[in-house]
Amino acid sequence: MTAQAAAELARRIDISCVRAQHGEADVRQLAAEATRWHCINAHVLPNWLPLLRDLVSGSDTLAAAPVGFPSGGASTRTKVFEAEQLVEMGVEELDVVMNIGRFIDGDHGCVADELCRVMDVVPARIPVKVIIEVSLLTNEQIRSASRLVAESGAAFVKSGTGWSGPVTVVAVETIATALSDCGADQVQIKAAGGIRTPLDIAQLSAAGATRFGIGLMAAVSILEETQRQ
């Protein structure tokens, strides 16, 4: 591979610093690497979004942040308010953690209503990715969750937060099949969790993923390796 391959890959990577311990120095490093490699976006926890926006201003890297991260268990009112606040702060892409506990309990109506209420306050120009946390779900639950996300109008099904376990090829294939079966081929898949090598990305791409959520250091390592190959 070449520098061109690394540049193309960077436009598919959501590079992130979203762990509890990440502070200002981490956000500044994130912005520097994201803009150096021209990553499609950079993700931070909500309180760091204004700083990130300033740091990536004028670049081709978008500023992104999550709602209900990482558990998905906040109240619907809280999630809606968080989404509204992030929009006001200038978020350019938004990842929303669905209510995983309610979903596993079978209360799909509650989960669907919550997603629709969040989507209602996010302008259409801002892509929304819904995190379903595949490591906690059975294959049938993954299929059901993927269909639910498609029905909400979200742009992406995202496999997980990266906090509960790594993404697998089988999980991405399951999401892709579910989306195809319900006629939602326009909904894309973001794979996240445990992605560490260009081979991981190649395998997940073959399974149907088009975007990859990767932590700062792992993303830089993957891009450097891609550039060297």
- Annotated active-site residue 190? The verdict is yes
Q: Residues 79, 95, 129, 200: which is the catalytic one?
A: 95
Its sign, for the CA torsion 85, 91, 97, 102, is positive
- Annotated active-site residue 129? The verdict is no
Contact 75, 102 (CB under 8 A): no
Q: Residues 14, 79, 129, 158: which is the catalytic one?
A: 158
Give per-residue burial for 137-160: e unless 16+ CB within 10 Å, then b: beeebbbbbbbbbbebebbbbbbb
Report the SS3 class of residue 131.
Answer: strand
Q: Residues 14, 129, 190, 200: which is the catalytic one?
A: 190
Contact 184, 216 (CB under 8 A): no
- Annotated active-site residue 158? The verdict is yes
The catalytic residues are 95, 158, 190
